[in-house]
Amino acid sequence: MEQAVSLLTRTLHRNDLVTDEGKAVLEVVGRYARSWSLLLRYDEDRLELPKNRHLPRQSLDYGRTGKSIKALKDDLLSRS
């Protein structure tokens, strides 16, 4: 699916057959396809670690992690 969406997107862009609104829709569909592919690989236990991954600077303990998640949630809720 991801490859089909990518091919369609490139073809439409190359032939200038899509409006700005259409480009935005294609971007959303492309991201959805990539997310779906990633989740499918995870479900099928085929997800590989990135080759250029960063080493962790430090570990988070349970309490600190919970506080960080709450802070992110509060920040996101305040934006809506």
Q: Is 45 left (phi over 0), alpha (psi -120 to 50) or beta?
A: left
The answer to whether residue 58 sits within a structural domain is no
The answer to whether residue 70 sits within a structural domain is no
Structural domain for 23, as ranges: 1-49
Structure tokens at 38: 């990633």
The answer to whether residue 31 sits within a structural domain is yes
Contacts of 8 (CB under 8 A, 6+ apart): 26
The answer to whether residue 59 sits within a structural domain is no
The answer to whether residue 25 sits within a structural domain is yes
The answer to whether residue 60 sits within a structural domain is no
Q: Using one digit for the tens of pLDDT, what is the confidence trace for 2-13?
A: 778 777 777 777
Statement: residue 17 has pLDDT above 90: no
Report the pLDDT value the prediction gives residue 10, as an integer from 0 to 100: 76
Structure tokens at 51: 């080759």
Cα separation, 72 vs 66, whole angstroms = 10
Q: Using one digit for the tens of pLDDT, what is the confidence trace for 45-65?
A: 998 888 888 888 888 899 999
The number of domains in the chain is 1
